[in-house]
Amino acid sequence: MKFRWAMTTALATAVVLGTAGCTFDAEIATNIPYSPSDGTGTSVGDIDVRNALLVTDDGETLNLVVSLVNQSDTDRAVTIQWEGADGRESDRVLVDGSSTTQLGSQDEQRILIEGVDVTLGGLFPVFFQYGDEPGSELLVPVLDGALPEYELYVPGE
């Protein structure tokens, strides 16, 4: 009788561990960072680049729409670079300490990338860097103003 009880307990333990044990070392999907919107993002030192995307109506003039979040108390001058019609071009954006700077709308600073030929739905490389921090190149999605949420970001609007 003791042998039968021991075998039943061992079998039950094996079934429980066999069916639930595979999740003990699995990475939990909700803990994996991702960009929950159409844009993309990265971190460069204390600066978080969030939801970067490019909006265009003709594929030749692109408006960079992005939020730059400064996690430090120190102001940061972020350099944004891209390959334009005349070679490597760049612009600088000051991001105050412990604040967010948004680019792209009519009421905010705009960075227009002109003289390029980009396909809608494609990706365009944009480089973000400040100070001595190693920068990060993002492949930024190119969208148009067909969706109402992007109408106001189309260059020239």
pTM of the model: 0.80
Res 102: pLDDT: 97
Res 23: pLDDT: 63
- Contact present, 66 and 39 (Cβ < 8 Å): yes
Q: In the predicted model, what is the mean pLDDT of residues 18-24?
A: 64
Query: Distance between CA atoms of 14 and 48, rounded to whole angstroms?
Result: 47
Alpha helix stretches (DSSP H) within the chain? 2-20
Q: In the predicted model, what is the mean pLDDT of residues 27-37?
A: 75
Residue 141 has what DSSP assignment? E
Q: In the predicted model, what is the mean pLDDT of residues 69-81?
A: 98
**Bridge partners (DSSP) listed for residue 138:** 126
HSE-CB for 119 with a 13 A CA cutoff: 3
pLDDT (tens digit, 9 = 90+) per residue, 88-138? 999 999 999 999 999 999 889 999 999 999 999 999 999 999 999 999 999
Residue-range domains of the chain with CATH? 39-153 (2.60.40.1890)
pLDDT tier, 4 (very low <50, low <70, confident <90, very high otherwise): confident
pLDDT at 1 over 80: no
